[in-house]
Amino acid sequence: LLQVVCSDRESVVMSHRTIHLFRKGLRLHDNPTLLGALACSASLFPVYVLDCAFLEGAMCLGALRWRFILQSLEDLDTRLRALGSRLYVLHGATAAVLRDLVTRWGVTQISYDTEVEPYYARMEREIQALAQERGLQTFTRASHTLYEVKRIVKANGGSPPLTYKKFLHVLGEAEKPVRDLSAEDFLRCAPPAEPDHEQAYRVPSLADLGLEVEFEVLWPGGETHALQRLHKHFQSQGWVANFSKPRTVPNSLLPSTTGLSPYLSLGCLSVRTFYHRLNSVYAQSKNHSLPPVSLQGQVLWREFFYTVASTTPNFTKMEGNPICLQIDWYHDPEALVKWRTAQTGFPWIDAIMTQLRQEGWIHHLARHAVACFLTRGDLWISWEEGMKVFEEHLLDADYSMNAGNWMWIFCPVRFGRRTDPQGQYLRKYLPVLKNFPSQYIYEPWKAPEDVQLSAGCIIGKDYPRPMVCHIEASQRNLGMMRHVRTEQQNTAELTRDVADDPMEAGLKRELQEEEPLEGAEQHGRSKRFNGDADHKSRPRSWTPETLQLSGGEIIENITSALYYINYFNM
């Protein structure tokens, strides 16, 4: 198709001087926009604009994410140089930089990938305005998603499908990847060298941006590492075919998922390449896992959230969001700081938040656990506050995914203990507790004084006491959430679909009595966290929404209409 389009423009094919603007899509495999631009150009300048004000304003980037981006740019530059080109990195506001380059380089065309985020849409309008003003051509394709989201919305009658089940009904065939780029593609499109271009357009260092990261690199950025990780996982086709998301372990010391989500988020890895590699494995397997829990199902969840986000106003906010319940959250800056700095007094929660800050990645069930603790489970603080923290630290943070899924209630003690009874995960990320016996490490406040002394950690001094009484807080919050759902039933039903639930295999069962947490701070028994009489006793039976994990932990399904947390994490 790209070649046909270019042949129709034969008179201008060899005359275009093109800027290809990288934003996401930092790769050379399956890059239809770049491939098409090369086919229609005599010279092509691969450009990345380091618009720090835009990036930090739109995405709240932390140092770990900046490091991942810069590593990805360095890798892209290396791969481009191997094909006879290079990456031009410039600093400033994107529109102003492009305006200057159009004049300086005699540019006649700008190419870029189409994105769904509102801030990228605003940028694209500025590019189109510049093109119209200067008489430029623009060339754009959608390549960050498996499907073109506008087509899915159109197939659904002009509005996005708000349930996974409806989404699957309107998908159709996914486009296949385009061929990889080669040196031959760049041979006739090499831009002329400029004086001092090596220094003027180099990828900056963290120090250049005034940043410093003290933690080691566990997730190197870039297409090279993405493809290596993809190849490694597909060497075990049995693991790929039988992958089931609920069976992965949230507190394993090594990721029990693919770890590809950071690379997909930044476009270092093509989702179409990944998806069709999966299809090839499935075609050779008699029995394989199925959506929504399979790897293929995870990709489709990603597409689902991109589609919904593309047409939902204020998707990352509660106010003005038509599919989000309006909840009167508590404003408690002190509690929020304790949560984000791993000082809640609940070791499993604090270990997860420590891993997030140090590594920029946590398992999806761990994400649900800390998110639930912050919001409806314990602290009743808005999901928007938690989303900002995730957006700052998670390498795979994404506008659509970080604001787009479900939330479950997890006990901040028992679920971690079931999956890691010896507490090895806690000992790694909370070394202050490493000498506690396994029977106490998840609830160190219950340890006798002599045990605490022997472990070299006095609770309340060396490690905080629990900031809330979990049983009281969760009972009260559960009652408040049910009240909200009853009052706003129409909104809650918008995204209601049991088939959406990746834990759908679970069955309701009678809730086991949970022992109140001893040793909680006094304010944990204040009016805020003491349930009213109606919420003092936990119901003995649960609704059909109640689901059970394979480990036996009870969770409650809440649809994405309530509030959001990142689920897609591969």
- In SS3 terms, 214-255 reads as CCCCCCCCCHHHHHHHHHHHHCCHHHHHHCCHHHCCCCCCCC
Query: Which residue spans within 92-141 are E strands per DSSP?
Result: 109-113, 137-141
- Total residues found in the chain within this entry: 570
Binding site, annotated residues:
257-261, 298-305, 396-398
**What Å distances lie between residue 91 and 78, 97, 159, 428, 429, CA to CA?**
20, 8, 38, 39, 37
Can you tell me which residue has the tokens 């899509």?
Answer: 25
481: closest CA among 335, 372, 367? Answer: 372
Enter the DSSP assignment of 463.
Answer: B
Distance CA 73, CA 52 (A): 14
Amino acid in the structure at residue 198: E
Question: Which residue's entry shows tokens 């290079």?
Answer: 86
Q: Cα–Cα–Cα angle for 82, 84, 85, nearest 5°? A: 100
Candidates 459, 474, 444; CA nearest to 373 is: 474
CA 369 vs. chain centroid, Å, equals: 15
Residues forming the annotated binding site for FAD?
257-261, 298-305, 396-398
**How many separate helices (H) and strands (E) can be counted in the chain?**
27, 7
Task: Specify the 3-state DSSP secondary structure of 390.
Answer: helix
Residue pair 147/303 in contact (Cβ under 8 Å)? The answer is: yes
Q: What is the spatial distance between Cα 294 and Cα 124, in angstroms, rounded to a whole number?
A: 35
